[in-house]
Structures are given as C-alpha cells and as structure tokens.
Structure 1
Amino acid sequence: MGKILNLRKQPAKAPQTLQRRREEVKVTEKPAVVIEQFAEKPEIFWEAPSFYYNPQKRYLSLITVALLAGAAALLIFKYDTLTSIFLILASLVLLLYSKQKPTMSKIAVGQSGILVDEIMYYYKDLKSFWIEYNPGGPKELSLESAKWYMPYVKVMLSDRDPVEVRSLIVNFLPEKEHENSLVDHIGRRLGL
C-alpha cells in the first residue's frame, strides 16, 4: 500500500507557510502610463435627428390625393365600402406620419457598443456596419443586427465626420455595404 494521508486538523503551521510564500512573491506594479491608457476609452458623442426629414412633400401630397380619389371612385362606382375605408385610412396615416418631425437623439459610440438615446446596441449583437455618405445628401450609419426581426438600424450622422466614426467602429465590427431596400428609396422620395 501507498502512503496514508492524515486528514485530521493540523496544527497552525500551514497558514504560516502560506504567509511566507506570499511574502516571497513580490507584486510588480504596472507603470501609471499603462493604467492611464486603459482608463481612457475612446468615445464619440453627437446629436442628430432621429430620422431623415425631407420638408418637400410634393409626391406625398399627390399620393394622398390619389388614394382619396380612388376611395371616392370605388365608393361611387363599385359600392366597395371596405376598400374605400381602407384607402381613406391609409391616406390619413400617411398624412399623420408626414407631419411628424424628428426629435434630437443623443448618440455615443464607444468600446462596448453604440448608444442611441436610451437603447444600447452591443457589438456582439451586430453583424456589420456601413456608413452611407453621398455629398449633398444625408450621412447615415447603418448597423446590421443579428436579430431576424430587426435587420438594420439606421443612425443619422448629422455634422459628425464619417471617417472618425468609421475609424472607431471598424475595430469592433466588419465593414460591409448595406443596400437600401425599396421601401427606403420610396420613403426618401416621398419625404417620409
């Protein structure tokens, strides 16, 4: 048989040996410069409208008039009340939505994610990003979400330099071009 271990309580010698070992090991302190580098987290802050606002609504007014005229024609000639009510409600929704003005959102891009007002989009929950910038047009940061029900998050860049924002985000997310959907194009044309 091998060696038998005594599992009974030992005298107070064991803690002294641990204390001696702790004293022998010297803790090396990190230089203050390294600590200051990690304490300083690069962040970018700006304020921007919550969505793209186009005050010219000529196409929207034409569509609203066409919907109301279509509803009146269906009601008079075909006696189709249900479709007429639907078209009237659709035109009212378009009118109400067009009157809505954007609020100013506070946006912060940091080490852990992107904060828009009170909502935090962590980098681990995002697939990629793309900055849409056409001279003379709106500057927009597009984030592709990993969630199937929320494919893209659009954030206006306003007066912020897109190169500065890109240089920070590219460290955490891959850059991939995001195509605007048909709904985005139509909404921009209508001024929504």
Structure 2
Amino acid sequence: MATNDDLMTALREAGRIVRGGRLLVIGSQSLLGTYSSEELPIEATASLEFDVAVFGDVDSRAADHIDVALGEWSPFHDQHGFYVQGVDVDSAVLPDGWQGRLVRVPIDDASEIDAVCLDPHDTCAAKLVRNEERDREFVRSLVRYGLIDPATLADRVTAIPLSRFPRARRNVALSFVRNL
C-alpha cells in the first residue's frame, strides 16, 4: 500500500533526477496529494507505481531519465518497494479545465520542486476512459468511501473532449457512473 511518505520520496527523487521543475502526478497515486493514505481504500493505493510527468518535457527526455533512475526493476524500486514511471503530461485523457484544479503538494524540504497532483475527480474520469475492470473498481471504491461524488464525476466525464473520448465510450462511462 502506497503512503503519503512514498509520494514525498517519489517526488523528491524525481525532482532530483530532473533538477527541479514542475512535476505532475497522474494515475491512482495522485490521490495521495489530496487524501492521507489512511483515508483511502486499499484499491486506491495498491499500485506500486507513481506516474510522474514533468511540465515542459516536450521531447520526453525527463520522463526517460526518471524511468532509468527510478523505474521498475531499478535499484530505487528494490530499495523502496515502489517505482516511479516517467510519463508525458498528455498521457492521461483528462477533462477540460483540469489544469485549474491541480492539487499542490508541499514538499517538506527546501528543494526547488514544484509538485502537483490531479484532482481526484479528474483522476477518476481518466480511469473511466480506459474502461478496464480494475479502473472501475478503483472508482467504485472511492465512491463507496464517500471520497468521490458521482455527480461531479459525471460532469468531469462529460468534459473530456470527444476528440479524445468517443461518444460511445463516453456513454458507457456515464452509464457506469449513474449506476454507482
């Protein structure tokens, strides 16, 4: 189970690898920017992977450096029991306006790292784009624990551009949300 301390470690190390910059956590572990690990159901923190993007990484070099130094099967992974995958900012399909809802993560040292996580509803909307059972269970558990509001989630799903989320798949996601 990933913890808030793990998030801090992942961000500090990713920031060290890319020498500062603005980091974005996407995926399930982005919830640790909003909630404490004790508040979250196991389905929300079970992943061993932190997906971290660097704003302005147009050629994916920073993502590649993170992968090499902190990725799966790296010495970092062996030492900490989790790993950091470097990703592109646009690797997640997100609702319009997501940038204005980012959750700032204060790093508890004097580093030059500016870190943010996705808003939990934006994270869940992105999970529903994938339409995999594990992602639906992730969302289901957050609703069950009262951490995600289905009406807000439906609004976020609807705010995903049709160019990235075809209408038929959006309707499947909205049907799932309405039945929560």
TM-score, with normalisation over the residues of structure 2? 0.23
Q: Whose strand proportion is higher, 1 or 2?
A: 1
- The structure having more radius of gyration, on CA atoms, is 1
